[in-house]
Amino acid sequence: MGLACKLIFPLILVGVGYVYFILTKLPPVPTIPETYWGPGQPKPDDTTIRPFKIDIPDEVINRLKDRLANTLPFQTPLEDAKQHYGINANLLSSIVTYWRTKYDWKKRQTFLNQYPQFKTQIQGLNIHFLHVKPQKVPSGVQVVPLLLLHGWPGSVREFYEILPILTTPQKGRSVVFEVVAPSLPGYGFSDGASKQGLGSAEMAQIFNKLMQRIGFKRYYVQGGDWGSIIGSDISVLFPDHVIGFHSNMCFVNSLMSNLKLFLGSLAPIIINASQLEIETNYPLSAKFSFIILETGYMHLQSSKPDTVGVALRDSPVGLAAYIIEKFTTWTNPAWKDLDDGGLTKKFTLDKLLDNVMIYWVTSSITTSMRLYSENFNKARRDSGIDSLPVLVPSGCSRFRYELSFLPRFVLKDKYQKLLTLTGHEDGGHFAAFELPEVLAKDVFDFVEEERKSVQIKQEL
């Protein structure tokens, strides 16, 4: 019996060591093939950077107005259902009435064209982007490049309120940003792929090329939603080109981090988590249940994007319902209990419809949703990129109602040079759209912290 005990203990240690090795072993950084994503056989890219303005033909807008005017009667909503069965038909009816009678596309198109826009071809795709430079820069303030990335169901429209803050010198700040904000491939005015396989890592390759082409060898990256995942992939794949990465939805998806999150959420005392970190990650919490409730769209878009895309591409009212619903539930879950979905608390109908219109006039809803199918698949898992740490300086902003609100002890696994980690009691998924001043401050603070850390190292 004594001999057995002596043998069991070393075997347990070996087993624990082996499990730890498996959980912490890092795969090599994947090599991303330079795929030609355009139609047909590969052709040389037109590498010129061409000015672009949004100019939608009147016939497209007139056809839309006809469709809105001839919408079928809405299904009568359940009594007192508010937004708990999806967007309430009474709310949707009021939005469609506004869209049809008061929303002025000509004025909104002028608004959307206020910032310089361009297109250039990369790997067979015409990539659309805003390029906004500071106009007056005082002495002692340095202009630094920032790649700003949106997600789904957003667009570059999310950035129109934060752009003037980022590109205007702020009192007491030593930097100001020159911002490049592209439309993701398949979103808005950027071409969608004609071939399978264009996921976030492949988009990272495209955007790194875009920044090099514009003339930025090194640059900062900021993003939320898909912009966060693409920004993380850029930082992993092209660390020599990324000065620093900031996100308002820092996300981790490795075996070790998921295990730590599970154990820590069950026994938060062992990881010294804050009350907010406990509330947003505990498996039996309302927040966790809310995430399960809200991810049905993700499973659909990961498996059958082209099927649901048929309906959304054909019906402007269906498209508006599908997109605008997210601006209620993902901004503040409590807004599901409001008749108006809380939509005018942080947005206006013009702002929300601008975003819907970008999808409608470009017929890009199907191509945008394909990104889910291209990422939640075996190829992504086999690449191992989700297990690789971000080794460039990083910063995370965590907003109270964001879908992902991870504790520091998990984030540090992924973002190993985490310089700033801020928490905000307000705000949700669309931070740049909801609270542009708050997010801009976090971005400025992160960049100045990164520059300070570099200065300290140089002095040492």
pLDDT (tens digit, 9 = 90+) per residue, 188-199? 999 999 999 999
Distance CA 88, CA 1 (A): 69
Nearest-angstrom CA–CA distance, 158 and 326: 14
- Residues near 33 by Cβ (< 8 Å), separated by ≥ 6? none
**pLDDT range class, residue 10, cuts 50, 70, 90:** low
Choosing from 128, 241, 246, 429, the catalytic residue is: 429
Amino acid 455: pLDDT = 72
- Which segments of 360-435 are extended strands (E)? 394-399, 418-424
> What pLDDT is stored for residue 18 in this prediction?
43
Q: In the chain, pLDDT over 90 holds for what percent of residues?
A: 80
372 flagged as catalytic: yes
What pLDDT shows up at residue 168? 98
Residue 405 pLDDT:
81
Q: Is 382 a catalytic residue?
A: no
Q: Which of 219, 372, 401, 415 is catalytic?
A: 372
The answer to whether residue 16 scores a pLDDT higher than 50 is no
The pLDDT-based confidence of 286 (bands split at 50, 70, 90) is low
Q: Tell me, what's the pLDDT at 431? A: 98
CB 330, CB 79: distance < 8 Å: no
C-alpha distance across the termini of the chain, in Å: 59
Assign 182 to helix, strand or coil. Answer: strand
- Residue 234 predicted with pLDDT over 80: yes
Q: Which one from 103, 115, 191, 225 is the annotated catalytic residue?
A: 225
pLDDT exceeds cutoff 70 at 1 = no
State the Cα–Cα distance between residues 443 and 451, nearest whole angstrom.
12
In this predicted structure, which of 70-84, 275-289, 422-436 has the lowest mean pLDDT? 275-289
pLDDT at 14: 47
259 has a pLDDT exceeding 70: yes
Cα separations in angstroms, 379 against 30, 192, 203: 11, 19, 15
pLDDT of residue 8: 63
Alpha helices in 70-153 (DSSP H): 89-101, 105-112
Give the amino acid at 224: G
The total of other beta-carbon atoms located within 10 Å of residue 388's CB is 20
Q: Tens digit of pLDDT for each residue in 22-81?
A: 556 788 999 999 999 999 999 999 999 999 999 999 999 999 999 999 998 999 999 999
Each domain of the chain, given as residue ranges in start order, spans 50-251+294-459
pLDDT band at 273 (very low <50, low <70, confident <90, very high): low
pLDDT at 243: 98
Any idea what DSSP says for residue 159? G
What integer is the mean pLDDT of 223-239?
Answer: 98
pLDDT more than 70, % of the chain:
88
Q: How far apart are CA 228 and CA 246, in angstroms?
A: 8
- Smallest CA-to-CA distance from 120 within 130, 112, 110 is with 130
Place 19 in a pLDDT band, splitting at 50, 70 and 90: very low
Of 164, 163, 177, 155, the residue nearest 221 (C-alpha): 177
Confidence class for position 267, pLDDT limits 50, 70, 90: low
CA distances from 204 to 147, 199, 212, 230, 394 (A): 11, 9, 12, 6, 17
Indicate if 225 belongs to the active site: yes
Separation between Cα atoms, residue 396 and residue 275, nearest integer Å: 18
Query: Which of the residue ranges 131-135, 226-230, 264-268, 368-372 would you say has the lowest mean pLDDT?
Result: 264-268
**CATH number of this structure's domain 50-251+294-459:** 3.40.50.1820
The amino acid at residue 108 is: R
Q: Rounded to an integer, what is the distance from CA 334 to the centroid of its chain?
A: 22
Torsion of CA 229, 336, 424, 153, to 10 degrees: 20
The mean per-residue pLDDT over the stretch 384-400 comes to 96
Q: Are 342 and 330 in contact (CB under 8 A)?
A: no
Confidence category of residue 279, pLDDT binned at 50, 70, 90: low
Please tell me what DSSP assigns to residue 33. P
- Which of 2-6, 30-34, 44-48, 263-267 is the least confident region? 2-6
User: What pLDDT, on a 0 to 100 scale, did the predictor assign at position 354?
Assistant: 98
Q: What is the DSSP string of 268-309?
A: GGGGT--HHHHHTT-TTSHHHHHHHHHTHHHHHHHH-HHHHH
More confident: 159 or 268: 159
**Weakest mean pLDDT among 19-28, 327-336, 447-456:** 19-28
Of 238, 366, 217, 227, which is closest to residue 300 (Cα–Cα)?
A: 366
Per DSSP, the three-state class of 181 is strand
* Average pLDDT taken over every residue of the chain: 91
Please write the tens of the pLDDT for every residue from 335-373.
999 999 999 999 999 999 999 999 999 999 999 999 999
Tokens standing for residue 387: 């297990």
Characterize 97-121 residue by residue with b for buried, 16 or more Cβ atoms within 10 angstroms of its Cβ, and e for exposed.
Answer: eebbeebebeebbebbeebebbbbb
CB atoms within 10 A of CB 21: 9
